[in-house]
Homo-oligomer: A and B are copies of this chain.
Amino acid sequence: MMPILHLDFGKRLPKLSIILWYKHPGECIGALDRTRECGEQGGMNKQKLIGQEPVSLATVAAQAGVSVATVSRIVNGETRRASAETVERVQKIVAALGYRPNHVGRTLRRRESRVVAMLSPNLDNPAMAAIAASVETALRSAGYVMILCDTHDRADLQDEYLHVMRSQVVQGYIVVNPVRSEALSASVSRGDPIVFVGRRNPDGGGAFVGIDNRRAGRDAADHLWARGIEEFGVIYPTQGSSATRDRVGGFITRLEELGLSDEAVRQAEAPGLSHLEVGYAAAQRLVNGHSWPQGLFCPSDLMAYGAYRLALETKVRIPEDCRVVGVDDNKLNAWIAPWLTSVHIPYADFGAKVLDQLQSLWAGEYPSEQLLPHTLIVR
């Protein structure tokens, strides 16, 4: 499709050599603002496709017969400071050459980018993927792009990413389910714009987007209680995050308030990072030697799935023998887990809130917490 131009200069052309490619006089269809060494490619001789080299401000300026300063202003919408003819001519050439500002040059000069880093543990978790999707959409609508970093819930990876992102001159950080780490504390002390999502800042303080996890646990307790259930169970991961602890804590506290004794609320935990497996293992411990409780609270849907598998294997019927309440309300529940009541977390709304928080931080406002409303979805 594209015509191929054979170029074979012995040396680099001097700076600012500009090659323009015309279809007809007056209709420029491509430009190189410099030639560069072209390595051998697939055994062919040195060659270059027209237009392969991005067009720079200098090319546009040369074409238009104005200075780069003028082009820069016009490209940035500062059209009042140039004559109407100049503006039009430049805009025409910008369009013809398909000029797009190089954000790297701009970032270096302005000392600010339109890039935000998002650190998330295991994207594999549908809840994390939902947050990522929502944040990405919100950022795009505000003209930002997102570098996604999967920390695998590891402090060392979180630190590495924080360092690398700083090198990339990102404009802000979104840390989903942070873990305590050196670089994170340093970043916070430095006053970097950073929004915590899901779990709070392990060192306390900072901007936060999430739900009222204690309240979510209480709501789960109330729901089961209202169903007349008398024997309760709750399972959780040994290495619980603040979010998990709050959910479980709220659940148990509420049952105590309702007058339940300790033995009416059985608890079990299991180690591990995969909530699926933790749910399975913890459920095993919970029912070890006992029957299943009438009502089981799992601080995440994935844990509920883990428990469900054990129920299947042991021929316990869910929800007939044991009502299960999860948290997250995975989108798939409505389709394939009709046995699971779950606390819906409005992940789809997280993106907008996270953006709000970032913009507040950029405006120099004091960090705040944004708690979004959750809803119990009864199935």
Contacts and interface: CB of A to CB of B under 8 A. Distances in A.
A332 B332 contact: yes
Contacts of A163: 100
State the copy count for this chain.
2
A312 B338 contact: yes
Nearest to A124: B133
B305 A332 contact: yes
A335 interface: yes
Interface string A158-169: 000001111111
Nearest to A185: B1
A146 B334 CA distance: 32
A264 to B, nearest CB: 28
Interface range, A side: 35 or more
A132 B126 contact: no
Interface in A133-174: 133, 136-137, 140, 145-150, 163-169
Nearest to A144: B164
Given A100-B163, A123-B129, 6 more contacts: A2-B190, A41-B364, A102-B108, A126-B126, A136-B148, A136-B150
A308 interface: yes
Interface string A359-372: 00000111000000
Interface of A: 1-2, 39-42, 49, 51-52, 54, 100-105, 107-108, 113, 115, 122-124, 126, 129-130, 132-133, 136-137, 140, 145-150, 163-169, 189-191, 276, 305-306, 308-309, 312, 331-332, 334-338, 364-366
B148 A146 contact: yes
